[in-house]
Amino acid sequence: MKKTLFGLLSLVSFSSTAQIGQGGTVTGNMETNVQYLNTDTLIGAFAPEQKLVANSYMNVNYSVNKFRAGVRFESYLPSIAGYPQFYSGSGLGYRYAQYAGDKITVTAGNFYEQFGSGLIFRSYEERALGLDNAMNGASIKFNPRQGIELKGVIGRQRYRFDSGNVFYSDAIVRGVDGSINLNDVIPGFEASDLKISIGGSLVSKYQSANNDTIIIPKNVGSYGGRIDMSYKRFYLNAEYIHKDNDPTALNEYIYNPGHGAMVNLGYSQKGLGIILAAKSIDNMVFRSDRDVLGNQLMINYLPATTNNHTYNLAGTLYPYATNPFGEVAYQLDVFYKIPKKTKLGGKYGTDIHLNVAVATDHVRHTSGVNPEATYVTYVGRPFDMTDSILNFDFNFHISRKIGSKIKASVHYFHFIFNNDVNNVTKFAHGYIVSDIAVLDVQYKINKKHSIRAELQGLFTKTDRGNWATALIEYTISPKWFFAVMDQYNYGNPDESMQLHYLLGSFGYIHDNSRFMFSYGKQREGIFCIGGVCRPVPATNGLTFTFTQSF
């Protein structure tokens, strides 16, 4: 193992010096986040003993002809505020070697992979959230002909990074996946307006077990199929996954089977797009260690059925994540562009986006079940919703270019958030109803200078009351940016907590390198990327971020 690592490294370092002669390529990136923290008891920010904390990463990929290898160096000295505690020390967090032939690609070491929509298997990295369930093992992809792809994976999943060493899951994860594009393989179907591809997956995990009271299944399987279709402007994709019974600490050792189903139905033409999404989840915690709590070691991925909000007050205070134990969710999106040079659309046209999403609990049928004998506590059926709302999200966006220099947009959000199910605040119980309004205006002063302002207000009668956020950003293309943001919790019922959270930042960009300094207070909240959310504590201090790609 160690020898392999060393061999890989020497190969990479040797080859990089010789790359021009041999035609190989080195790509990669690096990122450093350094914080100097102050304690501020009012907002609950506590500086660690070290005062200075830093996360650093560097990815290096080397490829020559059909061969590729790479490593990621990671360092947490110690990890930055709010990062999971199980990241510490410095070392190699990821290394792989790969051969990519015309029809076969084999990878040894670490790899990321996704089957179908990920409902059954997704290994991925979301560095900002401290999420990384990379596989450590081997994978093979086989494309016998155009339109057919077969994949096989085996390995253990990354669990934590402790004192510079990576620890992997107890369970071994094995899976196969196949997909066929029918237009490619059926003669005469190539040119059809109807496009169909189908796929299927099987994933199982093995973990030894020694439990005296119950018989735990050591091998747990999961399987399912999917279809993607489109006909002219209509498209449909759907996937259904069944999971065998998998008693775990998280589901309280029940023997229920689980399912995950997703359907997207869409219509799209120039200037208009409509999508209806439906999702049904029951007992879908599928992870490579039955005894671990927290959000590590997930084998599958259950995407949130809501819009991914990026305005601060809409994105951080009441974020919804899929309830893996069970929910039924629907979402509607309408995108419309009011044509340009019309009375309503103006000279440049106006963009409108409407999004409505609702997630409810699902029905647990208990008649006829005998939990004492079978440990099956209920029967769940797909899309069997209750009227108990887990989350409701309505949002509406209008954006328009006014003249050649001004771009403006207005946004409205209405949330009903069930804090009992998805607990994000200790100041409220049950439903939190909130309304958010945002105005965003950008003015282009000249070819290089522009200024942008954001005004946001959040109004709620519960939790910490009303919030206002103001942001001003000044940019000088292509090198500089400056921003000041103030969040003000002016409606907090506790007057001593009606605080300003002032944060100033500036940065410098040189092609693919970016430096950023920010100083001030950051509010405690939930940080979400790609539908996965992680709480970050309040911080107060100086942050330096450097990213580069090469």
Contact range with other proteins by CB under 8 A, out of 282-290, 412-420, 461-469, 542-550: 542-550
With CA atoms as reference, report the closest residue to 246 among 213, 210, 212, 206.
Answer: 206
Those residues with Cβ within 8 angstroms of residue 474's Cβ, 6 or more apart along the chain or in another chain: 449, 450, 451, 452, 481, 482, 483
Q: How far is the CB of 542 from other proteins (least distance, A)?
A: 21
Q: How far is the CB of 367 from other proteins (least distance, A)?
A: 35
Contact range with other proteins by CB under 8 A, out of 8-16, 35-43, 289-297, 489-497: 8-16
Residue 518 near other proteins by CB under 8 A? no
208, 213, 269, 367: which one contacts other proteins (CB under 8 A)?
Answer: 269
Q: Which CB, 306 or 539, lies closer to other proteins?
A: 306
Task: Sort residue 310 into left (φ over 0), alpha (ψ -120 to 50) or beta.
Answer: alpha
Contact code string over 28-67 relative to other proteins, x by CB under 8 A:
xxxx--------------------------xxxx-x----
Lookup result for tokens 């196969």? 176
Contact range with other proteins by CB under 8 A, out of 153-161, 216-224, 248-256, 444-452: 444-452
Distance CA 384, CA 267 (A): 26
Q: How far is CA 467 from CA 242, 429, 455, 470, in A?
A: 43, 19, 11, 10
CB atoms within 10 A of CB 66: 12
Distance CA 267, CA 393 (A): 22
Lookup result for tokens 């409407």? 354
Residue 5 near other proteins by CB under 8 A? yes
Give the strand pairing for 172-181 and 125-126: unpaired
Q: Which of residues 202-231 bind other proteins (CB under 8 A)?
A: 228, 230
Lookup result for tokens 């609990």? 361
Q: Which of residues 459-478 bind other proteins (CB under 8 A)?
A: 475-478
Binding footprint of other proteins, residue count (CB under 8 A): 102
Q: Which of residues 292-321 bind other proteins (CB under 8 A)?
A: 301, 303-305, 307-310
Q: How far is the CB of 116 from other proteins (least distance, A)?
A: 9
Residue 336 near other proteins by CB under 8 A? yes
Beta strand segments in 77-147, E: 89-100, 104-111, 113-115, 121-123, 125-126, 131-132, 135-142
Residue 4 near other proteins by CB under 8 A? no
Q: Which CB, 409 or 489, lies closer to other proteins?
A: 409
Q: DSSP secondary-structure letter at 339?
A: P
Q: How far is the CB of 223 from other proteins (least distance, A)?
A: 18
Residue 117 near other proteins by CB under 8 A? yes
**Bridge partners for 350 per DSSP:** 338, 400
Contact range with other proteins by CB under 8 A, out of 20-28, 242-250, 412-420, 536-544: 20-28
Lookup result for tokens 């004192």? 163
Contact range with other proteins by CB under 8 A, out of 90-98, 202-210, 430-438, 455-463: 90-98
Contact range with other proteins by CB under 8 A, out of 79-87, 107-115, 387-395, 495-503: 107-115
Backbone angles phi, psi at 366, to 5 degrees: -110, -5
**Bridge partners for 168 per DSSP:** 158
